Amino acid sequence: MTQIDFYVLPDSTLEARLDFACRLAETIQRKGYRLHLHAEDAAMARELDEALWTFRDDAYVPHALADDPLAGEVPVTIGWDDPPPPERPVQALLNLSPEIPEWFSRFERVAEIINQHQEVLVAKRRCWQTYKQRGYPIKAHQLRGQGYRSYRTKGRWG
């Protein structure tokens, strides 16, 4: 059964949420998982694409937008509508959309990132309730204070 992890950030900005998504994507990819980042829309997908190149000077997360010809060759893809194609096995989903994609259960792990922005809180509470009602195992990771910016997900993802 798919394991669901919620990461709860103390910030309220989209930038903080995207920054943490990049760091989490780096950790997941380094642990050997193929990852699909599910954005709310094409604009957010492009922001994620750019952020994965710039979130840290010494970071490299091989990635591509899902409709890019390179998508089949990299461990991390970014999309907003459709799931990765079945011929490209992906183990993990990082959902940044306010809704749960219908196809989430095909992944071993799903990560959701919550911040303190009211719209995100409301949407992700609904997601939590949906996962819970369906009986999926859920873990919450409360990230507090400025120290969470150096938070490493070692031991929490694997």
| pLDDT tens readout for residues 90-104 | 999 999 999 999 999
Condensed to tens digits (0 to 9), the pLDDT of residues 13-35 reads 999 999 999 999 999 999 999 99
Average model confidence (pLDDT) for the chain? Answer: 92
Q: How far apart are the first and last CA of the chain?
A: 15
- Check pLDDT > 60 for residue 146: no
Check residue 91 and give its pLDDT: 96
pLDDT value at position 106? 95
For position 89, what pLDDT does the model report?
86
DSSP the chain: --EEEEEE-S---HHHHHHHHHHHHHHHHHTT--EEEE-SSHHHHHHHHHHHHHS-TT----EEETTSGGGGTSSEEEESSSPPPTTS---EEEE-SSS--TTGGGSSEEEEEE-S-HHHHHHHHHHHHHHHHTT--EEEEE--TGGGGG---TTT--
